[in-house]
Amino acid sequence: MTGNDEGARLAEEIRLLVDLVIDRAAPWLESVIAAGHGDPGQGEEGEHPGRQGGCTWCPLCAVVAVVRGERPELAARVLEQAAQLVALLRAVLADRWQPQEGVHMPGFQPEPRPEPPGDGAVRVQRVAVRQREQWEQ
């Protein structure tokens, strides 16, 4: 399997995961939108504390602001954390797939261990075992 195949497979897995999350979160998001969350036309009821052109503390509003491109520093931080999460998932999955090889990242191939010198026979040291009465003092 080439690096491109692995990348395409990872992208497909991430796409399927995002689709699943969207499917599961859709009813909740629709109920939040139907309740008028942050709707400027609702006056005091739809506003959050400290609102000055947008909610700054609500996670839902923060995600919407990132999607709109209003908070580039938050978007950079989210992307950094997502990259670390993907790297962690790759490491965990590599461990599950090739634990006997000691591989911790896909695509990483450790150098083969050198052969021991000699004819390859196992060396054994013979040890004489004697009873205590026969020990030299």
- Cα separation, 44 vs 80, in Å, equals 36
Q: How confident is the model at residue 10 (pLDDT cuts 50, 70, 90)?
A: confident
- State the total domains in the chain: 1
Per the domain annotation, does 81 fall within a domain?
no
Q: How confident is the model at residue 100 (pLDDT cuts 50, 70, 90)?
A: low
Question: What is the SS3 assignment for the chain?
Answer: CCHHHHHHHHHHHHHHHHHHHHHHHHHHHHHHHHCCCCCHHHCCCCCCCCCCCCCCCCHHHHHHHHHHCCCHHHHHHHHHHHHHHHHHHHHHHHHHHCHHHCCCCCCCCCCCCCCCCCCCCCCCCCCCCCCHHHCCC
Predicted confidence (pLDDT) per residue in 48-97, tens digit: 444 445 676 777 777 787 778 777 777 778 778 888 888 777 776 665 55
Per the domain annotation, does 29 fall within a domain?
yes
Q: What pLDDT does 22 receive?
A: 78
What value does the mean pLDDT of the chain take?
A: 70
Q: What pLDDT does 104 receive?
A: 52
SS3 call for 40: helix
Residue 107 or 46, more confident: 107
Residue 26's domain comprises: 1-35
Q: What pLDDT does 46 receive?
A: 47
- Cα separation, 21 vs 66, in Å, equals 18
Q: What pLDDT does 50 receive?
A: 45
Per the domain annotation, does 19 fall within a domain?
yes
